[in-house]
Amino acid sequence: MKSHPTLALLTCLTLSACDFSCASIGKAKPPVPRFDENYAYEQILRYEKLGPQIPGSPGSEKTAAMIKAELTQSGALVLEQKTTAKTFDGKTIPVLNLMAQYNPSAQDRILLSAHWDTRPFSDEDPNPKMKHLPVPGVNDGGSGVVVLLGIAKALKLAPPTLGVDLLFLDAEDWGNPSKEESYCLGTQYWAKNPIPEKYTARFGINFDMVGRTGAVFPIESYSAQRAPEVIQKVRSAAHQLGYDDFFPNFRVGFVTDDHVYLMNGRGFPVMDLIHMTEQGRFPPEWHTHLDTSEFISRDVLKVVGQTTLQVLWNE
């Protein structure tokens, strides 16, 4: 093989120029790690295969083991919280909240959360014969999980200087639409009895339905009222990355999601990063038997994951 001495020399020069400028900057921040959307997509297929993730079901147990293994692999300190909760339909269910901590001794922390359970019934299904079936919950459950797992993978390669916590919340979706407090059972418990004890953070972002093809993330109203600074951080990070189209500047209604209980219980601002349409609706597969990987987009997972890493690195 013929060698190319001129090219080799050029490469050396380029490298040494870079070495020099990096050294002279001194305090240059390490680059923002890349969110691996292919990894996130692989994990969502695993999640789908293991599910549904109804609290107390074998699918839930297997998925918990999968999440814990991925988090441990990423070098996090993994904490578990087990309890039970009473559902609106009179069942007592096991609840497992998981937290992965990076840089656990840091006082200054950021919380990223998502629910990891799926809904036991497809009550929004247009087909009455399907309403009793569990929701596969690949978007409503799986997408938030794999965004957090993708962030875990990135943090393994580029440990953050701040403390970062990934919180996987159980029993969000076993609720009755006419009883607001029947949802978010895992979060309601954690927010009153956090692990670690007296937990606090600078701010939080909660992810729900963040993987659907064509998704956009407008401004949810509780977040606008109680976490406007967090919305600003997310919107400006998205702008830096050229993702403005995914974060349209219109406001949708109030969603009582995990972020509300996190704010009520812990007192720091948390925004809900959630897909809603311009009409203020959830995606069409929401709480139906069609919430499968068929509608999941790697690109959307990438947008959400990369924007979040940018937020962390901007702090």
Q: Nearer to Zn ion by C-beta: 183 or 189?
A: 183
Q: Nearer to Zn ion by C-beta: 165 or 258?
A: 258
Count of residues of this chain found to bind Zn ion when the rule CB under 5 A is applied: 2
Q: Residue 275 has which token pair?
A: 């897909």
Instruction: Return the residues of window 89-148 that contact Zn ion according to CB under 5 A.
Output: 140
DSSP string, 137-197: -IIIIIIHHHHHHHHHHHHHHS--SSEEEEEEE-SSS--BTTBGGGS-HHHHHHHHS-SST
Q: Nearer to Zn ion by C-beta: 170 or 173?
A: 173
Contacts 24+ apart (CB under 8 A), 78-84: 79/195, 79/196, 80/195, 81/189, 81/190, 81/193, 81/195, 83/189, 83/193
Distance between CA atoms of 269 and 232, rounded to whole angstroms?
12
Q: Nearer to Zn ion by C-beta: 140 or 165?
A: 140
Distance between CA atoms of 173 and 154, rounded to whole angstroms?
28
Q: Which string of x and - marks every residue 164-183 that binds Zn ion (by CB under 5 A)?
A: ---------x----------
Dihedrals phi, psi of 314, to nearest 5 degrees: -80, -15
Among candidate residues 215, 196, 230, the one with its CA nearest the CA of residue 284:
215
Q: Nearer to Zn ion by C-beta: 37 or 172?
A: 172
Q: Nearer to Zn ion by C-beta: 125 or 140?
A: 140
Write the CB contacts of 179 (distance below 8 Å, at least 6 apart in sequence): 88
Q: Nearer to Zn ion by C-beta: 70 or 140?
A: 140
Query: Is the CB of residue 122 less than 8 Å from the CB of residue 134?
Result: yes
Contact flag: residue 272 with Zn ion (CB under 5 A): no
Q: For every residue of 115-151, which 3-state class applies, written as one string?
A: ECCCCCCCCCCCCHHHCCCCCCCHHHHHHHHHHHHHH
Least separation in angstroms between CB 140 and Zn ion: 4
Contact residues for Zn ion, defined by CB under 5 A: 140, 173
